[in-house]
Chains A and B, each alone.
Chain A
Amino acid sequence: MRTSFAAPRNIDYSDTKPLPNASESLIGRFVDVPATSSATSRLPDFGDYAEVYAVTARIAGRINATNVSEQERNSLLRERQVLLDKKLGGTITGKEANRLEYVRWSLDRIEDAQHGLTLDALESSVVRYEKFLAEVQALQEELRQLTKGNK
C-alpha cells in the first residue's frame, strides 16, 4: 500500500481534488474579525479541520523548540539560577519575579519538545488500556447478569 506521509521538504502535489465531504483540498484561510481600528485583525479559519491544525501547530512548535541551541538553553538555566538566588535571598523585584516565571515557562517548552512526544504516546497507551479495562468490566458485568438469569 502506498503510504501517505511525506516529509515536509518532499511535497507531493499529485492529488488536489476536493473530497466529497471537504470544502477544499487546501485548507487554511483568513477570516475578518470585526475591528474598528485595524484592517489587519484577521484570524485563520480552519473550519472542521481546526483540531487537526491545533495538533499540527503543536508539532510545529515542538520541532521549533527542539531546535533551541544548547547555548541558549544553558543561558536560560543560568538566568533562572541567578533569579532563583535572588528569590531565595529575598531581594527579587516584582519585574524579576515575572521574568523568572517566563524563563521557567521557556525551559518547560524546551523540555516538552524533548520529551512531549514520548509522554503523549504513553498517555495515549494509558487511555487505550483504560478503555480496554472498561470494556472488559462491561463484558464481565454482562456475563454476570446472564449467569444470574440462567440460575
Chain B
Amino acid sequence: MSWCDKLASTPTVGFTLDWHFVPSSAILQAFSTILDKLVQDNKQMFTVERQEPFNLTFTTYDGYQYSIEPSKVAVSFQHRLKVKHVSGGPPTMELLSIPTPFSKLLPIVANKLIEAALLLPGAPARTISRIGIVSTTLVAIDEVPPGIARFIKYIGRPWKGSVDNFNVQIVADLNKTTKWSDRCVHLLVKPEDREQVPAVQFDWQRTFSSGQPLTHDSLKDIMASAETASLKYLEELAEGSQFDEDLIRSTT
C-alpha cells in the first residue's frame, strides 16, 4: 500500500496529444456515450463546469472530472461534498464520493481516461506525445511522510528552517531512454492562512520521442508502464534518500 493510500491522495491522469481543434459542442456529442450513463433516478449526475469554443470540462457527482482541450485530455478524481438540508436542524455536509485508496483509484481514473481518449473526435488519426500521472494530497506538514518532510527541510535550509509558508515548484528530469524521458513537477504549498490545508502535488510525466498511436492496446501499455514508474517514484520521494544531505555528500 502506497503512502498516497494512507493520506487519501487523489489522482489525475492525462494525455498530451497532437493539436486538433474541434468545437466543444462536437466534443460533447462525442462524449454522449459517457454522459448518457450518468443518470440516476431520472436525475442528471454531472455538471458541465466549463464550455469554451474548444475546451470542455465536466464533473460527475461521484467526483470524476473530465477535461478536454485541443491538445490535452485528462481525468481527475477529488472528493465531493454536498450541503444537505435537514429537518429542524442546521445544514450538514455529506461526502458524495466514496473514500477509496489512491492505488485503487488510479486504475479507475486511468480506464476512464482511456475510454475518453478513444472517444475524442478524430481519435484514430491522432497520436500521444505525453502521459502524466498526478498525485494530490492535502495534509498537515507534520503528517507528511518522512521523505517529504526531509524535502521541505532541505528547501528551507538557507533560512535555517525558519520557513513559515511556501509555494515551491520544482521540475526535475528523472530518466531518459531513446524512446522516452521522464520528469516530475514537484509542487509544495503551505498557505499563509492557517485555516487552509497545505498541499503536496507530484506531477509525474513521461514524454515520448515519437507519437504513440491512439489505440486501446497502445494506451493500455503506455498506462501500465507509467503507473508502475510513477508509483515507484512516489515511494522514493516518501523515503526521501535523495534529500538526505549525508547521502548527497557521500556521492559527490
A binds B: yes
Q: For the side of the interface on A, what is the size category?
A: 35 or more
Proximity bits, A38-69, B CB within 8 Å = 1, else 0: 11111110100111111011111101110110
Tell me the B55-75 residues at the A interface (CB within 8 Å).
59, 61-63, 65, 72, 74
A26 to B220, CA, bound (A): 33
Known: A1-B86, A38-B171. A8 touches B185 (CB 8 A): no
Tell me the A7-63 residues at the B interface (CB within 8 Å).
8-9, 11-13, 15-19, 22, 25-30, 33, 35, 37-44, 46, 49-54, 56-61, 63
A72 on interface, CB distance cutoff 8 Å: yes
B116 on interface, CB distance cutoff 8 Å: no
Residue of B nearest to A58 (CB): B8
Proximity bits, B85-127, A CB within 8 Å = 1, else 0: 1111101111111111110000000000000000000000000
Contact of A16 among B3, B40, B62, B82 (CB under 8 A): B82
Within 8 Å CB of B3, what residues of A? 102, 105-106, 109
B177 on interface, CB distance cutoff 8 Å: no
Q: Which of A93-101, A130-138, A139-147 contacts B (4 or more CB under 8 A)?
A: A93-101
A2 to B88, CA, bound (A): 9
Within the complex, what minimum Cβ distance (angstroms) separates B18 from chain A?
15
Tell me the A76-127 residues at the B interface (CB within 8 Å).
94-95, 98-99, 101-102, 105-106, 109-110, 113
17 A–B pairs (Cβ distance < 8 Å), ordered by A: A8-B97, A12-B84, A13-B41, A16-B82, A25-B82, A26-B80, A26-B81, A28-B63, A38-B171, A38-B185, A40-B203, A52-B93, A53-B81, A53-B197, A56-B81, A64-B102, A102-B239
